[in-house]
Structure 1
Amino acid sequence: MSRTIIQMNSIIKNYYIGTPNELHILKSISLEVEEGDFIAIVGASGSGKSTLMNMIGVLDRPTSGEYILDGISIKRMSDNQLSDVRNKKIGFVFQTFNLIPRNNALKNVELPMLYAGMDRKKRVERAKELLSLVGMGDRMDHQPNELSGGQKQRVAIARALANDPAILLADEPTGALDSETGRMVMDLFHKVHEEDGKTIVLITHNPELAEETNRVVTLRDGMIVGDRPGSGKAAV
């Protein structure tokens, strides 16, 4: 029996830019995502995608409404508690990779496990396994500046999986890549979803990529205006 892993109830997000100006970014968003879903959130620039991603990833707090993540309400959590939730519950994959330049691939993947307090032997072993999983087993000692864009994104995906998070949150993960490399990265997401049953939330402006997921949620002007099944299949 599936369980709800993301539950958002009437989430509102406003930004104050000086009296009397107030920006209403998210307008009563209610969203449920089941464990094991592969969901795309789409919308034009200014639709609220990035703000919703920040809410899902507990990078920001809603102005009002409630967010229950993997059975836990974040409403009254301290900043330190939220940081702990991000580290253990959510794996982030960004368009710009966000690798640490001075760390090689192995140490970049180790980092979330270091923050989680895992002992060195276990985290090195886990990092090696994950780099092999994403096809980067022969690049463990390479610095980010020695890797192509696609290779950097593979390392970023391995890092996102490090603490076996409940959710993989990918923000325009193919946006900085050419189409062939982007295809390889999407194939990797499909592999992680199918083989590991990982819950994946993909933020994208690309309708073709969105269609590959199991569910497509469309935002417009801070509101959900569409919620339909996707094909769930990689494009040929």
Structure 2
Amino acid sequence: MGKNIIEMKNIKKSFYVGTPNELNILKGIDITVQEGEFVSIIGTSGSGKSTLMNIIGALDRATSGNYVLDGTNIDEISDNGLSEVRNKQIGFVFQTYNLIPRSSALKNVELPMLYSGMGKKERKERAEQLLELVGMKDRMSHQPNELSGGQKQRVAIARALVNDPSIILADEPTGALDSATGRMVMDLFHKIHEKEGKTIVLITHNNELADETQRIITLKDGNIVAEEENKKYYRRFREEEELCL
């Protein structure tokens, strides 16, 4: 870990629900995430975590405050610039997978590279390489309706990695999966974090998932109410290292 990849200062988000009513969702959020960290943002429904996720992912803008993502001041760039940030700097993994129904796993993974102007041969090679990484080498030609939930999520994770983003932003990535399949998906995130060195921000309401991350940020009513290093994470990996010795 080294440089800060996410720096948020006094981020506020309000929605107008008819004059003069204003709904304050985020009330002054300060977050810093370092390169190579695995961080969870946890909160119940209504805590503001989905709104915060949309701002981190450049899907929405804050009402006020300052957000710097990997050296880019998000507040100062155009909407077209935001599209480029989303394509090149952020890899999204959603609860509902968001795969294109009538396209193969390979074509789904290739899609972000199409928007970034990469050549056909290079796109195919990169997509195949990442599908192999997530254990989907033998399912490359299958369409989403021919895949299980866990397989769809692994394709989505491969797609999130294709443009070598600064961060992986995972929104309830195991929410639609049974516990055994969810375990496989979390193991894959650990592999990507440890072997590929990726920065991962996990948005969840699940305390058990948050306990698998290095740092836990807790949101409640639009405020950060707790932020702590996760001793369980470090204890777990110390024990695994000792077993390997």
Alignment partner of 2:129: what SS? helix
With structure 1 as the length reference, what TM-score do the two structures score? 0.98
What's 2:109 paired with?
109
- Supply the distance in 2 between the matched residues of 1:102 and 1:70 (Cα, whole angstroms): 34
Q: Which runs of 5+ in 1 are unaligned?
A: none
Deviation at 1:72, TM superposition (A): 1.0
What's 1:164 paired with?
164
After superposition, residues 74-153 of structure 1 pair within 5 angstroms as: 74-153=74-153
Alignment partner of 1:138: what SS? helix
Aligned length: 235
Alignment partner of 2:75: what SS? coil
Letter in 2 for 1:94: F
Flag the structure with higher helix content: 2
- Supply the distance in 2 between the matched residues of 1:38 and 1:216 (Cα, whole angstroms): 9
1:191 matched to 2:176: no
Deviation at 1:102, TM superposition (A): 1.1
- Supply the distance in 2 between the matched residues of 1:116 and 1:45 (Cα, whole angstroms): 35
What's 1:17 paired with?
17
RMSD: 1.1
Letter in 2 for 1:145: N
Kindly provide the CA deviation profile for residues 6-48 of structure 1, in whole angstroms up to 9, marking residues without a partner as x. Answer: 0001000000111011110000101000000000000110000
With structure 2 as the length reference, what TM-score do the two structures score? 0.94
What's 1:40 paired with?
40
Deviation at 1:229, TM superposition (A): 1.3
Deviation at 1:76, TM superposition (A): 1.9
Letter in 1 for 2:51: T
- Supply the distance in 1 between the matched residues of 2:74 and 2:40 (Cα, whole angstroms): 23
Alignment partner of 2:139: what SS? coil
Kindly provide the CA deviation profile for residues 96-133 of structure 1, in whole angstroms up to 9, marking residues without a partner as x. Answer: 00000011000000000000100010010000000000
- Supply the distance in 2 between the matched residues of 1:106 and 1:189 (Cα, whole angstroms): 20
Alignment partner of 1:145: what SS? helix
Letter in 2 for 1:155: V
- Supply the distance in 2 between the matched residues of 1:171 and 1:103 (Cα, whole angstroms): 23
Which aligned segments of 4 or more residues in structure 1 are displaced greater than 2 angstroms? 231-234
- Supply the distance in 2 between the matched residues of 1:229 and 1:206 (Cα, whole angstroms): 17
- Supply the distance in 2 between the matched residues of 1:31 and 1:186 (Cα, whole angstroms): 23
- Supply the distance in 2 between the matched residues of 1:17 and 1:113 (Cα, whole angstroms): 38
- Supply the distance in 2 between the matched residues of 1:135 and 1:28 (Cα, whole angstroms): 41
